[in-house]
Amino acid sequence: MTRGQRFELRAVDFLLRDQSIRSRFALGPPSTPAILDREGRRRRRKKSTIWIARGVRVVPEKGKGLQTLMEKKDFEQWLENISVTFLSLTDSEKNETLDHLISLSGAVQLRHLSNNLETLLKRDFLKLLPLELSFHLLKWLDPQTLLTCCLVSKQWNKVISACTEVWQAACRNLGWQIDDSLQDALHWKKVYLKAILRMKQLKDHEAFETASLIGHSARVYALYYKDGLLCTGSDDLSAKLWDVSTGQCIYGIQTHTCAAVKFDELKLVTGSFDNTVACWDWISGAKTQHFRGHTGAVFSVDYSDELDILVSGSADNTVKLWALSTGMCLNTLTGHTEWVTKVVLQKCEVKSLMHSPGDNILLSADKYEIKIWPIGREINCKSLKTLYVSEDRSICLQPRLHFDGKYVVCSSALGLYQWDFASYDIIS
């Protein structure tokens, strides 16, 4: 027997007497043959058994007791055999084995286990999946949830902020007109964030700064804003033009009681509770035209210098067309069963079932419906189309009507309603 073999046997004998160290290696017999004692038998002692694999050297280390050294090749073979045995166990046996190994582990092993479990149990699918699959998953989330997900990590924020289709859809749901040629996801995300911020400010009454314009001595009933200027019509028989930025009154003229106003640089048109419409010169304050013919208060006016036409909507349930330059009544449109509270004169910008781009369109609204009329001098002409929110008249419209040539928008107590002018279908 060589000197090295005698040392190994003495080390094994020492391990058998050391209960605390012996427990570290009591993992059951490996598949490799164990080292035999002098008589050719496995050394056994009471209830504990120490198995030292072939190729293992037990070496004392100063300050740390005994350490086992195994050749890399032998260790890999031993690990492979252990793996095969582990895979053949049942789930409960695997769990029991893991529990036992964890109980034998020190701080270094537990730290290693903690670091690896983090990546195994909490996989970042947005980071691991292809970008196309990540974008497909994001489509199923609402925008507010996506904004919350952006806070998870820089990687999540980068992926979510790069999904153009998601943010375009979010803006479209808010009523935004989407330019599909602009594929900058970050741009549409910023548009959405600005929109929801403005909506929150509107809800909290914080969207606009407020200021008081003092000058009228009675109720102000009519308002019209254009290019930084605001016109007000009052029951004190006057109308005033204000510079919104400075709050200064630019013009003030004596009129009749005003229920509706509209202006440009040279003139002011007013609809009155005295059943008439008048046109005024801003500089001189003189009345240049007076339009008489309605039998009820005039709640809305609009005009076109190009067409030389003025339209008015009245409490007598009619819409009248006037020659702006002469004051002559050109036509009276009937068909409303309620007060006509709003009229709009505008060019069409889309091809519809009844109009082409460039056609002049007249819209009139009452409490329940919006009518579309031809601009002409035919007597007793009928409306081309009537738009409803509800045919049973269960929803009332407010005198807030807007038409930009493509869409018709009107408000009600339940919110805004929008129609596509190309098809006359309500879209929201």
Assign residue 186 the CATH number of its domain: 1.20.1280.50
User: Do 414 and 284 share a structural domain?
Assistant: yes
- What is the per-residue pLDDT across 41-54, written as a single tens digit (0 to 9) for each? 555 444 444 555 55
| Residue found under tokens 């998953």 | 137
102 within a domain of the structure (yes/no): no
Which residue did the predictor score with more confidence, 399 or 52? 399
Lowest-pLDDT choice from 23-32, 257-266, 373-382:
23-32
Q: Is the pLDDT of residue 127 over 80?
A: yes
300-330 tens-digit pLDDT: 999 999 999 999 999 999 999 999 999 999 9
Q: Which residues pair with 416 in a beta bridge?
A: 411
pLDDT value, residue 394: 81
Domain check: are 228 and 190 in the same one? no
Tell me which residue of 72, 46, 61 sits closest to 11, measured CA to CA: 61
State the Cα angle at 233 between 227 and 236, rounded to 5°. Answer: 150
Quick one: pLDDT at residue 2? 52
Domain count for the chain: 3
Residue given tokens 């009329």 in the structure block:
373
User: Which domain, by its residues, includes 235?
Assistant: 220-426
291: domain CATH number? 2.130.10.10
Say whether both 321 and 231 belong to one domain.
Answer: yes
* Better-predicted residue by pLDDT, 156 or 16: 156
- 419 and 362 belong to one structural domain: yes
CA distance 269 to 278: 6
pLDDT tens across 62-118, in order? 445 445 567 888 888 889 999 999 999 999 999 999 999 999 999 999 999 888 887
Task: Tell me what the pLDDT averaged over the chain comes to.
Answer: 83
318 and 178 within one domain: no
Last residue of one domain, picked from the residues 154, 176, 203: 203
Is 95 part of any domain? no
Is 396 found in the same domain as 300?
yes
Q: How far apart are CA 333 and CA 319, in angstroms?
A: 5
Q: What is the mean pLDDT of residues 119-147?
A: 87
**Among the three residues 178, 203, 228, which one is the final residue of a domain in this structure?**
203
Nearest by Cα to 389 from 401, 379, 404: 401
Residues 380 and 288 in one domain: yes
The answer on 130 and 69 residing in a single domain is no
Residues 232 and 136 in one domain: no
pTM, two decimals, is 0.59
